Chains A and B, each alone.
Chain A
Amino acid sequence: MNGAPINPAALRDSQYGVDPKYVVKRGADLDGMTSVSLKELIPDMPSVIYPNGRGVSVIKEETERALASVDFSKIRPGHKVNILASHHGFTFLGGEPYAEMLRTIRDVVITETEAKEVRLRAGLGMRFRETEEYIKAHGLDEYFEGKALGIAPIDAGIPIETKLGTLYGLRKAYDADVIIHAHNSDVREVHFHRQVDRAIKPFGMSYARCETRSTYHMNMGPRGANFVARAIFESDFVQDKYGFSIFMIMSPQGVVNVDADNDLYALNDRTTVGGMKYYGKIISLFGEIDECIAILDFPCPVPYVFSAGVIYANMINANIDLFDLDNPLPPYTWYTETFYDDHGQPLIPEIPPVNPAIKMVVHNYAWTGYPAVFFAEKTPTIVVGEEQAKHFDRDPMNLNYMKHALLARNLDTAMAFAYETAGTDKVIIFDGATGGLNVSASLAEHLLKVAPSVCDHVENTLIPRWLDQRNMDISLMRAIP
């Protein structure tokens, strides 16, 4: 049954969050909190290789195993090679598994080829020094002999001719003879990619200039946008440089394995069905939470804080099935956000509201560097601690966040207000706990009660529909662990 709360993920020293010393209490330390393991909720959750008690050496072994099937012949003596990475990978399990995968890729490429230089180019979102922080924290600059770099969407660009006309990549992503696409597979921003070409997306995002990102988020529509990355990837310019792809395959419990392929579309098929298989049930289960207080307590911006291996953006969208392509708009996506007027009213009636089950948000710790005002506008929000409020007031992306949020001196005060006002004692904590989720006893009981029927519905009704919408066969599902 329910256990003691799981240790939450450690906070992180970052310019995007307040000094962790200001976080004097974590959500998991509140009275009445308990935990539920993912295995209890979803018995067929796949086994993971990490965390496993053996440390990241298992990631090294698994990366070497995956790379053994890759054809390195594109990399010739004297070539410069860029390993292209993304910030998201570092947000899993403290970041070290992804860092170890990147180190191992470098070592294997050097061993298998006579490449002149193997560099790390780590893309990012809107926090332009975030990957620099990870590079430093994981010693990657030393490991790559001074050739590890964070690349930002406002850095110098390079035009790329595509089926969609001219789009723009980042010059430093492509300043090599060969590129290696090193990413992760969790569904994460399914509100954006809708599990269509999820594995291709970084070509339109992490490795792309702001023109391309803006095309994705402003010009093309919530589903059509996903063709942007494919157009770039299939361009002659990228194909001329593309070597292979390697992904850390994630489930809500941790790292399932490492998968590598010269054929990105083959890998994309596997990650597409893997995402449905591993994440479809937990996200659907979140949709069955009838009421709750959500505590944000993880070193990432508001939509990216984790519970049960999925992000808060999945929770705020959980009232709609995002894998179902017949649903045009998620309750939260950047298209949806633009479709509300200055009075907060939807421009057309069919805009879905954000998940009404979230009665209140207690923002104990989350980062700036992502425009989050929509979240505070649409869901009553209490920010804990004056330092955190000041931090948001200085962020050019969040100058209006505190206009819509209340300020509480400490977590206990915030929770007392939340319980009183929200009228529920169901609490879910987005704190990065591994292997399960920290919740109140009442929510644990509810989740355990509804989980069997949710799992059955996902397995027998939803997954066949999701596959059918993508012209994918169920045999693909059976071929993955």
Chain B
Amino acid sequence: MKMVNVHASVNEELCKGCKTCEMVCPVYAIRVSKQEKEFDVDIDPKRCVGCWNCEQRCPEHAIEMKPCEPYVLSTDVTQFDYKEIEALCRKTRFHPKQLVCYCTGTRAEELAAAILSGARTPDALVLATGVGAGCGIECNQPILRFLESAGLSFERKKQSFQWYGRTITVWEVPSSLREEFPVFRFGEDQELFDRIINAPVEP
């Protein structure tokens, strides 16, 4: 769940059309197009999640975050049989109550509920839960892992760098590396994760 209390706004006089804002917006809310002598930057306020990525990366400092009427991005977990939520979380190797986003406080169960509600892509999950609208860094893999374990396939937009791909988890570390590098304690960390994932869900 994330409260959105700011929206991006562009000063088109400063914009040089580099499209960085388009590339870092987690929900594709920004479109930059070239007009005759200047650039037109269209920011969809219905999609803007107030993450500040565009403001922080614009090389021309052309974007400002302005206060908006606050609203909340969230998906109601209770609309589904919790067993379905639990099953998808554990298949993704998360405990349902485990945090997947430190910034917004989004938990695994909410990502599962959003997918059960029809979210099919990373940007759809951001819009449905607010995940990824904080630092935009650490929840990257939980988002991709959830979509993959739900059996969803989706393609990265060419020239885009909102996300690249899912990476390895500790369960997939080859045995040769586990044996060669005991100081990293892959096996013990995997056991720790397994204890977390299989912990009961308290009401």
A interface residues, Cβ below 8 angstroms from B: 126, 128-129, 152-157, 159, 163-168, 196, 209-215, 217-227, 325, 328-329, 334, 337-343, 345, 347-348, 370-371, 373-374, 393-394, 396-400, 469-471
Cβ-defined contact, B50 with A396, below 8 A? yes
Instruction: Report chain A residues within 8 Å CB of B202.
Output: 341, 343, 345
Residues of B with C-beta under 8 A to A209: 164
Within 8 A of A (CB), among B95-140: 95, 97-100, 102-105, 107, 133-140
Interface size class for chain B?
Answer: 35 or more
Asked if B137 contacts A154 (CB within 8 A), the reply is: yes
User: Are A210's CB and B140's CB within 8 A?
Assistant: yes
Q: Which listed segment binds A: B35-43, B80-88, B179-187?
A: B179-187
Tell me the bound Cα distance from A165 to B166 in angstroms. Answer: 10
Q: Across the interface, do A337 and B102 meet the contact criterion of CB distance under 8 Å?
A: yes
Partner of B99, one of A164, A196, A225, A338: A338
Known pairs A154-B137, A471-B183; A220 contacts B170 (CB<8 A): yes
**A347 contacts B199, C-beta separation under 8 Å:** yes
**Contacting residues of chain B (41-82) with chain A, CB-CB under 8 angstroms:** 50-53, 56-57, 65
- Quick check: A153 and B137 within 8 Å, CB to CB? yes
Interface centre among A167, A209, A393, A399 (most CB of B within 10 A): A399
14 A-B contacts (beta carbon < 8 Å): A155-B57, A165-B168, A210-B138, A215-B168, A220-B168, A221-B188, A222-B192, A337-B102, A339-B95, A370-B135, A396-B52, A396-B103, A396-B134, A397-B102
Residues of chain B within 8 A of A227, CB atoms compared: 173, 177, 181, 184, 186
- The residue that A223 contacts in the complex, of B98, B133, B140, B188, with Cβ under 8 A, is B188
Chain A: minimal CB distance from B58 (Å) = 10
List chain B residues, Cβ under 8 A from A345. 202
Are A155 and B192 in contact, CB atoms less than 8 angstroms apart?
A: no
A348 and B195 contacting across the interface, CB-CB below 8 Å:
yes
| A88 vs B45: C-alpha distance when bound (angstroms) | 35
Given contacts A196-B184, A227-B177, are A341 and B97 in contact (CB under 8 A)? yes
- Knowing A215-B167, A224-B186, A347-B196, say if A126 contacts B135 (CB, 8 Å): yes
Quick check: is B12 within 8 A (CB to CB) of the other chain?
A: no
Other A-B pairs, 17, CB within 8 Å; known A221-B192, A399-B134: A154-B24, A155-B57, A165-B168, A165-B172, A168-B164, A168-B167, A210-B163, A214-B167, A218-B139, A220-B189, A224-B173, A328-B188, A341-B202, A371-B103, A371-B134, A396-B133, A469-B183
Is B9 in contact with chain A by the CB < 8 A criterion? no
Instruction: Please tell me if the beta carbons of A157 and B181 are within 8 angstroms of each other in the complex.
Output: no
9 closest cross-chain pairs (CB), A and B: A221-B189, A128-B56, A371-B102, A214-B141, A214-B140, A341-B97, A338-B99, A210-B137, A397-B103
Establish whether residues A128 and B181, one from each chain, have CB atoms under 8 Å apart when the complex forms.
no
Measured CA separation A220–B169 after assembly (Å): 5
- List of A residues within 8 angstroms of B174 by Cβ: 163
| Complex contacts, B196 vs chain A, CB 8 Å | 339, 347-348
Contact with A along B1-27 (1 / 0, CB 8 A): 011011000000000000000011000
Chain B residues lying within 8 Å of A471, measured Cβ to Cβ, are 183
Q: Which residue of A lies closest to B53 (CB)?
A: A154
* Closest-CB distance, A121 to chain B (whole angstroms): 15
A126 to B56, CA, bound (A): 10
Using known A-B contacts A154-B137, A399-B104, determine if residue A221 contacts B170 with beta carbons closer than 8 Å.
Answer: yes
Q: Chain A contacts of B145 at CB under 8 A?
A: 219
Chain A residues with Cβ below 8 Å from B23 are: 156
Interface centre among A155, A219, A343, A396 (most CB of B within 10 A): A396
Known A-B contacts A157-B161, A212-B167, A337-B102; A163 and B56 likewise in contact (beta carbons under 8 Å): no
The answer, yes or no, to whether B151 is at the interface (CB within 8 Å) is no
Complex Cα gap A126–B192 (Å): 27
Once the chains are docked, how many angstroms separate the CA of A209 from the CA of B99? 21
**A contact residues around B181 at 8 Å (CB):** 227
How close is B101's CB to chain A, nearest CB, in angstroms? 8
On whether the beta carbons of A159 and B164 are closer than 8 Å, the reply is yes
Residues of A within 8 A of B57 (CB): 128, 152, 154-155
Q: How far is it, in angstroms, between the C-alpha of A225 and the C-alpha of B145 when the chains are bound?
A: 17
